[in-house]
């Protein structure tokens, strides 16, 4: 069966920081010329889907909002399916989470002690403070459901750097509350299954291209997709050699030109 859908992670695959990865624009363009569907699946919850459209378009990859599945958007879709519209949510995160949860009608609160909270949703927050940790702790200790967009401890940035990710913040909240969050993003297959249904494609007609073994490759294998690891992000050859079998991709490439 031929491949119809190519799903790309963003950080470390399409770009690192403000730097576009070599051959990213050319690869996406060529796939589209061949009639393939292209989608973008990211655990990074910082930006809105509109912001991702602007970012990739500025990198020479024209795209539309419906081509993106972010962990923030997947979290909003999950909460919407649970009847969370109108519920109060305390967010430890950036604009991507705030915007997606507002869109489904959730009430964002700033102080759970004064306003109460039905949910705490946590992801990457580059303005994370002790006060935010304290407020999240209070809300969860008083019955709020704890949801994490993802558990990525790090993510690849510009100039070859690896920086702390949303998973580090989620871990801080989990440590002080003793509560395990429901994690929506990769390697949970929820967002992947949403993408496949929306594209009307079966798993064996799709390939996931990512840079992380513990999220990208693992979610692809769990969902039954073909998997490609590109060595431009978090995972290097040494990490690949020591990886457990369940995280080994079908194919490893050094850059997207090899796809």
> Whole-prediction pTM value?
0.94
Q: What is the pLDDT along the chain (259 residues), one digit of tens a residue?
A: 689 999 999 999 999 989 999 999 999 999 999 999 999 999 999 999 999 999 999 999 999 999 999 999 999 999 999 999 999 999 999 999 999 999 999 999 999 999 999 999 999 999 999 999 999 999 999 999 999 999 999 988 888 889 999 999 999 999 999 999 999 999 999 999 999 999 999 999 999 999 999 999 999 999 999 999 999 999 998 999 999 999 999 999 999 999 9
CA distances from 43 to 75, 87, 184, 218, 224 (A): 11, 24, 9, 13, 19
- Quote the distance between the C-alpha of residue 58 and its chain's center: 21
Could you tell me if 207 and 161 lie in one domain? no
End-to-end CA distance of the chain: 18
Quick check: is 243 in a domain?
yes
Quick check: is 50 in a domain?
no
Residues tagged active-site: 9, 11
Distance, in Å, from the CA atom of 63 to the CA atom of 40, rounded to the nearest integer, reads: 10
**DSSP per-residue codes, 92-139:** ES-HHHHHHHHHTT-EEES-HHHH--SEEEE---TT--HHHHHHHHHH
Could you tell me if 100 and 175 lie in one domain? yes
CATH classification of the domain holding 223? 3.40.50.1000
Could you tell me if 191 and 179 lie in one domain? no
- Tokens 């489904």 locate to 104
Q: Which domain covers residue 168, as residue numbers?
A: 84-183
Last residue of a domain, one of 135, 160, 183: 183
The packing angle between helices 130-141 and 166-177, to 10°, is 50
What pairing do the DSSP bridges indicate for beta strands 226-230 and 206-210? parallel
Last residue of a domain, one of 152, 183, 214: 183
């Amino acid at each position: 069966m031929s491949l119809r859908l190519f799903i790309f992670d963003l950080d470390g695959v399409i770009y690192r920081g403000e730097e576009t990865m070599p051959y990213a624009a050319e690869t996406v363009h060529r796939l589209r010329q061949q009639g393939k569907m292209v989608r973008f699946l990211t655990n990074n919850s910082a930006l809105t889907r509109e912001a991702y459209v602007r970012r990739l378009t500025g990198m020479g990859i024209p795209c539309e909002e419906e081509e993106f599945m972010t962990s923030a958007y997947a979290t909003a879709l999950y909460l919407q399916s649970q009847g969370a519209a109108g519920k109060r949510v305390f967010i430890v995160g950036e604009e991507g989470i705030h915007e997606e949860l507002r869109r489904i009608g959730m009430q964002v609160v700033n102080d759970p002690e004064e306003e109460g909270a039905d949910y705490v949703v946590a992801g990457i927050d580059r303005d994370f403070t002790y006060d935010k940790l304290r407020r999240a702790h209070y809300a969860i200790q008083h019955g709020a459901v704890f949801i994490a967009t993802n558990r990525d401890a790090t993510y690849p940035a510009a100039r070859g750097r690896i920086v702390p990710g949303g998973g580090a913040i989620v871990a801080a909240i989990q440590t002080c509350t003793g509560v395990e969050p429901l994690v929506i993003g990769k390697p949970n297959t929820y967002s992947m299954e949403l993408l496949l249904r929306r594209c009307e494609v079966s798993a064996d007609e799709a390939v996931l291209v990512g840079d992380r073994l513990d999220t990208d490759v693992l979610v692809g294998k769990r969902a039954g997709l073909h998997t490609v690891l590109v060595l431009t992000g978090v995972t290097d050859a040494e990490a690949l050699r020591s990886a457990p079998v369940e995280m080994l991709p079908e194919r490893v490439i050094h850059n997207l030109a090899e796809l």
